[in-house]
């Protein structure tokens, strides 16, 4: 439950990145020794991945300080990722490459997660087949086999895919010979995965570009790694501060990770002050200006920030256009914002928005993770009370969001999960 109208003020520390932690956790399946991960966020998706790894036979334990995981895959003897776990989190597909590369077999249910449109795994499968895997689909499971091991391949993705890139990298590190992966995704979280794999002994070149060259090695060892900060979480809080005409500082994040998101925030009229490991935003009490958004693969505008800017534009000064090019159903939150009085017209993949001075509190329902965050932002700027239902979505990607917002002065409380 949210009572809006209070500008956010204060200071937060960035959490570890969900989108980096999940593939890195999956990558521990490649190691012949124990791994220690620091800065892992406390999220529902992380709990699901922990449960999945344990179901395969890995030893997973929480350590001090908070956010530290000890993972040892030396006792893995099962290679099936069951539907009951995979259906709740799309990132479960990321165990496919590591299991196949190290053990020669993987059985992974088709993944679930947020209902934001089609996200086929065809490209994951094609990359693994190029490395010599035999893959079939049986009763909703992807069955992958490589009893003699994988071999290096020259493979080009037809379209940019983050998960497909991550699975292909993790498979290639133990393949025989050289793999050249072309048209790969360039998100910073992939760079963090590559950094962790190098710590385990992988030979990977080209991170940050659209072509990766991987020299396969015979084995990987355990390693320690600190997960990078969550640029989407940071961006969400910055947008919330801009929408509420507030002033906040977020520590523990490299501003370079935010890139075009900071550019768009400046276009709203926000004063930004960036240090090497902090970002301060100050609206000086001003209403934000409307900004046009078009999502693109990194380094373009991230699809995971689109919903938050849709909420900001709903109360901004001026007209804006938000175009979603990555997922076909990711404007669903706009329908709920219209229940709060937002002036939004949706045509195909584009929302045309006329900003209003304020919104009206109303009961709304979240459809996915980032839609949840956008509806919270809308509630923070609305008159009266807003109730966001199905808030369990938000626990998949934001660690204690209501506690953090309360620290910034928001009138928000959780009344159920």
Local confidence band at 416 (pLDDT 50, 70, 90 cut-offs) = confident
18-226 under CATH 2.60.40.10, yes or no: no
pLDDT of 112 = 53
SS3 sequence of the chain: CEECCCCCEEEEECCECHHHHHHHHHHHHHECCCEEEECCCCCHHHHHHHHHHHHCCCEEEEECCCCEEEEECCCCCCCEECHHHHCCCHHHHHHHHHHHHHHCEEEEECCCCCCCCCCCCHHHHHHHHHCCCEEEEECCEEEEECCCCCECCEEECCCCCHHHHHHHHHHHCCCECEEEEECCCCCHHHHHHHHHHHHCCCEEECCCCCEEEEECCCCECCCEEECCECHHHHHHHHHHHHHCCCEEEEECCCHHHCCHHHHHHHHCCCEEEEECCEEEEECCCCCCECCCEEECCCCCECHHHHHHHHHHHHCCECEEEEECCCCCCCCHHHHHHHCCCCEEEEECCEEEEECCCCEECCEEECCCHHHHHHHHHHHHHEECEEEEECHHHHHHCCCCHHHHHHHCCCEECCCCC
Q: Is pLDDT at 277 greater than 70 in this prediction?
A: yes
Residues involved in catalysis: 114
The pTM for the full model equals 0.94
Q: Is pLDDT at 113 greater than 70 in this prediction?
A: no
pLDDT in tens, 309-368: 999 999 999 999 999 998 776 688 888 999 999 999 999 899 999 999 999 999 999 888
Mean pLDDT score across all residues of the chain: 94
pLDDT in tens, 177-233: 999 999 999 999 999 999 999 999 999 999 999 999 999 999 999 999 999 999 999
pLDDT in tens, 10-66: 999 999 999 999 999 999 999 999 999 999 999 999 999 999 999 999 999 998 888
pLDDT in tens, 133-143: 999 988 889 99
pLDDT of 417 = 59
pLDDT in tens, 79-101: 999 888 888 888 889 999 999 99
pLDDT in tens, 238-265: 999 999 999 999 999 999 999 999 999 9
Parts of the chain belonging to CATH 3.65.10.10: 2-15+229-412, 18-226
CATH top-level class of 2-15+229-412: alpha beta
pLDDT in tens, 134-177: 999 888 899 999 999 999 999 999 999 999 999 999 999 999 99
């Amino acid at each position: 439950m949210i009572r809006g109208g209070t500008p956010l003020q204060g200071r937060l520390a960035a959490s570890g990145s969900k989108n980096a932690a999940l593939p890195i956790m999956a990558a521990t399946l490649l190691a012949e020794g124990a791994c220690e991960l620091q800065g892992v966020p406390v999220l529902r998706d992380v709990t699901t991945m922990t449960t999945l790894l344990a179901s395969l036979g890995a030893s997973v334990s929480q350590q001090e300080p908070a956010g530290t995981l000890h993972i040892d895959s030396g006792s893995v003897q099962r290679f099936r990722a069951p539907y009951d776990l995979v259906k709740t989190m799309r990132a479960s597909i990321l165990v496919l490459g590591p299991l196949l590369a190290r053990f020669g077999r993987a059985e992974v249910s088709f993944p679930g997660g947020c209902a934001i449109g089609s996200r086929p795994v065809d490209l994951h499968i094609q990359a693994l087949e190029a490395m010599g895997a035999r893959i079939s689909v049986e009763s909703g499971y992807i069955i992958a086999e490589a009893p003699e091991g994988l071999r290096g391949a020259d493979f080009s993705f037809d379209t940019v895919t983050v998960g497909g890139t991550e699975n292909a990298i993790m498979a290639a590190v133990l393949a025989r010979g050289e793999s050249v992966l072309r048209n790969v995704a360039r998100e910073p979280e992939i760079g963090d995965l590559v950094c962790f794999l190098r710590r385990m002994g992988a030979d990977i070149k080209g991170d940050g570009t659209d072509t990766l060259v991987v020299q396969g090695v015979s084995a990987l060892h355990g390693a320690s790694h600190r997960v990078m900060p969550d640029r989407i979480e940071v961006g969400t809080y910055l947008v919330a501060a801009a929408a509420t005409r507030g002033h906040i500082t977020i520590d523990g994040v490299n501003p370079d990770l935010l890139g075009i998101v900071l550019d768009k925030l400046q276009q709203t009229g926000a004063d930004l002050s960036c240090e090497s490991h902090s970002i301060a935003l100050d609206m000086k009490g001003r209403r934000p200006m409307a900004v046009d958004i078009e999502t693109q693969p990194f380094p373009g505008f991230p699809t995971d920030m689109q919903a938050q800017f849709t909420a900001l534009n709903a109360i901004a000064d001026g007209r804006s256009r938000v175009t979603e090019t990555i997922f076909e159903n990711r404007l669903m939150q706009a329908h709920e914002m219209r229940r709060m009085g937002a002036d939004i017209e949706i045509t195909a993949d584009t929302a045309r928005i006329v900003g209003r001075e304020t919104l009206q509190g109303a009961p709304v329902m979240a459809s996915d993770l980032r839609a949840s965050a956008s509806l919270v932002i809308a509630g923070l700027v609305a008159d009266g009370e807003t109730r966001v239902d199905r808030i369990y979505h938000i626990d998949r990607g934001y660690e204690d969001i209501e506690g953090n917002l309360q620290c910034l002065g928001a009138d928000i409380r959780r009344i159920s999960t």
